[in-house]
Amino acid sequence: MNLVPSHFALTLALIAAGGLATLPAHAESLADVVAHAYETNPGLLSQRATVRAADEQYVQARGSYGPNVSVNVSGTTYDDRQVVENNAHLPGIHDSARSLSESLSVAVPLYTGGRVHSQLNQAEALILAQREQLRRYEMDLLVRVVSAYANVRRDEALLKVSQDTVAVLEKQVADTNSRFDVRQNTLTDVAEAKARLAQSRSTLANAQGALGISRAQYISVVGQAPGTLDPLPTIDAVPPTITQAFDSAENYNPQLLGAQYTEQRSRARIAEARAGRLPSVSVQASLQHAPYIPYLAQPYNYAATATVSVSQPLFTSGQISSQIRQATEQNNSDRLAVDETRNQVILGVTSQWEQIATLRNQIKTLEAAVEANTFSFYGNREEEKNALRSTIDVLNAQLELTNTQQAMIRARAEEYVGQVQLLAVMGVLNPAALSPDVRAYDPAQNFRSVQHKGETPLEWPARTLDAIGGMRVGKEPAASVAEIRGAGSAMPAAPDPEAPITSILSTLDKPPPVPR
């Protein structure tokens, strides 16, 4: 049985073989790709559904304040037969009856000691934590989309460099053979040129495979095959100082905010546990319509009752105290988790900041190295014609030029992705930063639509009394991030917009400009 559709198998084969010519040729911008992934990524859609599910926690907690109305209807049939067999004078006795009972009861809490109020606080904190988890997933998706986009462009450029290098070395081998025929060099020169050509062809094969993998990763993240990708747009959101990056992360990082909301939820759970020592008050009313004598249709009894119940725990064998201790220790754990998360966020900001600064410095030096190596390669080729340079000198000059070109291509792609990762750690990365026309998903919209479903005016007396007389949620712990921040390196200016790599083939026809 063939479990893989033929067109899908063909696509995989083309990717594995680096089938460049068969892939879509339409132009795509990063903004288009981000918008497509933001609207269709199944993982992101799943996270949104998780947030909507969390919204119902608030509705369910709030419903504990409302009236609980129930109705019960029961019907009874009575059929009694007594038969005397083989006796015509005693035909037997037959008695039957039907009755119907109905009851309606309404129970309304008046005061819960703050239990439900604490449950509402927990539900709100859970919803906010889930929203931060959604935002964290959105940022992770944007980073992965940008990385996949940049990697495809990077590997396409590396493939082009490898193809040009093979073409140049094929010309070098031909020239070396020609000079050997006229006794201008030796078999050693020919062997060196052929060995370097074999190495470049191996590098070309690796480049084709790397591009195939990058395309597959692009399809996995974006949900469609890459076409002709436009150059990466400029990002202007990186702050001028690391202090601003730290401040932004403290206020907006979704992982840190999620940890703070989790701690807030556990503080509300302490209040709920302590509320177990307080009394609860409820009122119940019921109406009943039932036969006065069972199994008789008449007469019927009508009853209406109203009850006010006050419950006060006196002794629970240590259960409430244990619950309070358990909730307190969980909150202690969550408080420490906030500090640990803050430390990790600071490390993330510092790491990304230093990486970008290092890469920007590298790009400047690599641009100068590419320019100088391009001129050096041309000069070595020209001097070889006059027997001033050997074959190995030319081959080494070509290798240095190729290596610096590849290093610059990788550094540019890594620096761009690093900027996006820094914005994610700072908590300010959003779809609009990369795709201005995308419509951002608002997780609060669903909450507003379900927040008051099933609500009645009977809830408000209990909510008011709970808010006044219930247990208070403790104060939020203060942040101490300023004491452990690092200074950070000076951030160099952003590199110039990405320019195409000058083909090494061009130096065979005309000399490059003299390096500055």
Locate 471 and state its tokens. 């247990």
Percent of the residues in the chain that have a pLDDT greater than 70, as a whole number: 88
Residue 516 has pLDDT above 90, yes or no: no
Strand partners, 76: 99
Residue 221 has pLDDT above 70, yes or no: yes
Locate 15 and state its tokens. 């990717």
244 — phi, psi (to 5°)? -65, -35
pLDDT digits (tens, 9 = 90+) for 317-329: 999 999 999 999 9
Q: What is the pLDDT of residue 23?
A: 41
Closest CA to 471 of 269, 248, 271: 271
Distances, alpha carbon 490 to alpha carbons 113, 244, 423, 430, 483, in Å: 56, 13, 17, 26, 20
Strands 280-291 and 93-111 turn out to be: antiparallel
Residue 469 has pLDDT above 80, yes or no: no
Report how far Cα 95 is from the mean position of its chain's Cα atoms: 73
DSSP one-letter string for 111-141 = E-TTHHHHHHHHHHHHHHHHHHHHHHHHHHH
Residue 152 has pLDDT above 80, yes or no: yes
Report how far Cα 215 is from the mean position of its chain's Cα atoms: 21
pLDDT digits (tens, 9 = 90+) for 471-488: 777 777 766 555 577 777
Residue 63 has pLDDT above 60, yes or no: yes
- Of residues 84 and 202, more confidence is placed in 202
Confidence of residue 89 (pLDDT cuts 50, 70, 90): low
Residue 405 has pLDDT above 70, yes or no: yes
pLDDT digits (tens, 9 = 90+) for 239-289: 999 999 999 999 999 999 999 999 999 999 999 999 999 999 999 999 988
Q: What is the pLDDT of residue 180?
A: 81
Taking the C-alpha atoms of residue 134 and residue 44, their distance in angstroms, rounded to an integer, is 8
Locate 294 and state its tokens. 């069972």
Of the listed ranges 76-80, 151-155, 158-162, 331-335, the least confidently predicted one is 76-80
Residue 11 has pLDDT above 50, yes or no: no
pLDDT digits (tens, 9 = 90+) for 97-110: 677 788 899 999 99
DSSP code of residue 236: -
Q: What is the pLDDT of residue 509?
A: 75
- 99 near 75, Cβ under 8 Å? yes
Taking the C-alpha atoms of residue 259 and residue 339, their distance in angstroms, rounded to an integer, is 9
Taking the C-alpha atoms of residue 30 and residue 32, their distance in angstroms, rounded to an integer, is 5
319 — phi, psi (to 5°)? -65, -45
- 127 near 135, Cβ under 8 Å? no
Work out the mean pLDDT of the chain and round it to a whole number: 86
Strands 300-311 and 280-291 turn out to be: antiparallel
Residue 409 has pLDDT above 60, yes or no: yes
Give the helix/strand (H/E) hosting 99.
Answer: strand 93-111
Taking the C-alpha atoms of residue 346 and residue 483, their distance in angstroms, rounded to an integer, is 11
